[in-house]
Amino acid sequence: MQQSSTRGAPRAHRPPTPAPYLMALLACAAATASSIALAGPQAGLPVEHLEAWLRSIPAWAFVLAFVLLPAFGFPISLFYLTVGAVFPTPALSLAVAWGCMSLNTALAYWVARVLAHPVERLLRRRGYPLPHLPDGAQWRAIVLLRASPLPVLMQSWLLALGGARFLPYMVFGLPVEVLVAAGLVLLGESLFQANLGWVGVGVAVVVLGQMVLVGLRRRLRGDTSVI
C-alpha cells in the first residue's frame, strides 16, 4: 500500500513565544519590588537616597530631559520609573509621563525624518533596503511594531523611516505606549512610597499590559499585508 507523501513531511516549527519568560521576569521583579517596599525604610536601602536626589532636580529640568533625551537613545523606561519621585502624586506623575512621552514620540519621529535620506543611503550601500509601509495597512503596522519588545526609539525610527505618516503614527501608536508607561510609572511610584498596595497595582498593570500586547502581536501577525 502506498503511503501518503505528507506522512513523513516535517512539521513546521513554530518559534517559542517569549510570553512565559516575560511573565517569569515580571514575577521576579514583583518579588524584588515587594521586598524593597516592605524593607526599604528599615533596611536603609539606597532608594531613599535616590528619591532625595531626584527631588532635588527642578521639575522643569526633569520634564525637559524626559522630552529630549529618549529621542537620542536614553532609555525612556528610567524616566517612567523615576517620575513618581519628582511628582509624588500618582495622577500627576501619570499625566506628566504621558505628556512627556507624547512630545518625545513626536520629536523622535521628526529627528528620524530629518536623517532619513542619509540613513537610507547608508543602509542601501550595505544591502539593507528599508521596507515601505503600505498606505492601507499603516495603522496595523504601527500597532504591531509598538506592541513588539523592540526599544521604543528603534520602533519610532523604523516607523518614520518606513514612511509612516505622522498622524497615524501618533494616533495608533500612543495608546500602546500609554499602556506600557502606566504600569512602569505605578511600579516606580510604589517603590518610592514603600507601599505594597501600589506595588501590586503596578505589577498588575504591567502584566495585564503585556498580555494585551502579546495578544495584539499574535492577532496582527496573521495579516501579511502589514509586513
Contact predicate 134/214, CB 8 Å: no
Residue 104 confidence (pLDDT) above 80: yes
Residue 205 confidence (pLDDT) above 80: no
Higher pLDDT, 225 or 98: 98
Q: Which residues contact 169 (CB under 8 A, 6 or more apart)?
A: 105, 109, 142, 159, 160
Contact predicate 76/83, CB 8 Å: no
Contact predicate 171/162, CB 8 Å: no
Residue 1 confidence (pLDDT) above 60: no
Average pLDDT over residues 69-74: 92
Give 158-194 pLDDT, tens digit per residue.
898 888 899 999 999 999 899 888 888 888 887 777 6
pTM equals 0.70
Cα Rg, the chain, nearest whole Å: 21
